[in-house]
């Protein structure tokens, strides 16, 4: 097939997307596909340009707001859908993470261009990116999720309602960008200000102590459950993209009943948010065995440290085959965002 991979973009997860996209390109070529790379911020990219854009891999911190603003000023925007490399592709493989690549904006552009693309459609992507709306739908579908509030809030009341420690994070962001684990109520405004650098809508969420679990969904099938044990307390941006900062175990050491329960929660969450193709659903498991859904990732990372490739490997699916399956789902219309 002729496949165009979208990578880079203008979100805080740009570096992660470049790392994912370059790996996807190599995998799809290994499976015999003709692959072109397009960065919505810069246009068609050669392999050399991709290497130059990410010379030493994903950095320990996300790009600065100033650097991202410069990229947004020159981005293709709706003109992305007019590129021949996009319109003439059999499938567009969306390896963008966060921002316009994952919030439904790029999906709407691709819908308007009439092309098939990997992952969820505009509606599902927008719903999943909005953590407030996602949690409302999780609860409606019977998927447990932690209590939360959205700003503006009564600061004294929210601490009484949700307790400490408390998670403060942008409502529409990924990779824990702008997230704070708040232990001191006097720093609440500081944590909110950090989150507001990335999104006007900020979520305050009850912290769930316990084990960090993740479930990938491919097509409509849950992959083996994974457990993440970060070196520090949180599985944050640095832990996700720095070798040695976290240990991932696939399959997770759970009983068959526990694994089945969290996989079913993941499927219910996947369907409640109207997702397609593939996604990753993240959970916390308390000591009493209760699971709490944290969020859904519609364009999960595909770097060499990412979780979906590890889950697929535990199911006997090599990375090139995983990328090929994702592309084939889109080509068949069963995992494509087109028309959603």
Which active-site residues does the annotation give?
A: 13, 175, 241, 280, 282, 295, 297, 301
Could you give the C-alpha distances from 275 to 101, 112, 260, 270, in angstroms and in order? 15, 19, 20, 5
Cβ neighbours of 146 (radius 10 Å) = 15
Do 52 and 211 meet the contact criterion of CB atoms below 8 Å apart? no
How many whole angstroms separate alpha carbon 193 and alpha carbon 7? 29
DSSP annotation of 338 reads T
DSSP-assigned states of every residue in 165-184: SEEEEESS--TTTT-EEE--
Do 296 and 272 meet the contact criterion of CB atoms below 8 Å apart? no
Cα 206 to its chain centre, rounded Å, is 21
43: tokens are 């246009």
């Amino acid at each position: 097939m002729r496949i165009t991979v979208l990578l880079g973009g203008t979100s805080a997860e740009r570096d992660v997307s470049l790392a994912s996209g370059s790996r996807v390109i190599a995998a799809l070529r290994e499976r015999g596909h003709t692959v072109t790379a397009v960065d919505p911020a810069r246009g068609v990219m050669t392999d050399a340009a991709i290497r130059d854009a990410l010379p030493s891999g994903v950095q320990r911190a996300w790009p600065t707001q100033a650097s991202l603003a410069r990229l947004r000023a020159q981005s293709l925007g709706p003109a992305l859908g007019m590129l021949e490399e996009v319109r003439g592709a059999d499938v567009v493989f969306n390896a963008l993470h966060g921002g316009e690549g994952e919030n439904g904006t790029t999906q709407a552009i691709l819908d308007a261009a009439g092309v098939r693309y990997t992952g969820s459609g505009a509606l599902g992507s927008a719903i999943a990116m909005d953590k407030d709306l996602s949690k409302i739908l999780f609860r409606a579908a019977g998927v447990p999720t932690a209590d939360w509030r959205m700003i503006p809030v009564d600061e004294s009341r929210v601490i009484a309602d949700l307790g400490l420690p408390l998670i403060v994070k942008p409502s529409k962001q990924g990779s824990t960008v702008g997230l704070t684990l708040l232990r001191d109520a006097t720093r609440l405004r500081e944590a909110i200000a950090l989150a507001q650098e990335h999104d006007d809508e900020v979520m305050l969420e009850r912290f769930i102590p316990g084990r960090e679990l993740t479930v990938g969904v491919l097509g409509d099938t849950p992959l083996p459950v994974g457990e993440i044990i970060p070196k520090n307390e949180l599985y944050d941006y640095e832990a996700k993209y720095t070798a040695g900062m976290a240990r991932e175990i696939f399959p997770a050491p759970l009983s068959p009943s526990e694994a089945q329960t969290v996989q079913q929660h993941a499927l219910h969450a996947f369907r409640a948010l109207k997702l397609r193709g593939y996604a990753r659903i993240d959970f916390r498991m308390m000591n009493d065995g209760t699971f709490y859904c944290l969020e859904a990732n519609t364009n999960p990372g595909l770097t060499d440290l990412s979780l979906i490739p590890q889950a697929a490997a535990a199911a006997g699916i090599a990375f090139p085959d995983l990328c090929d399956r994702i592309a084939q789902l889109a080509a068949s219309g069963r995992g494509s965002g087109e028309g959603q």
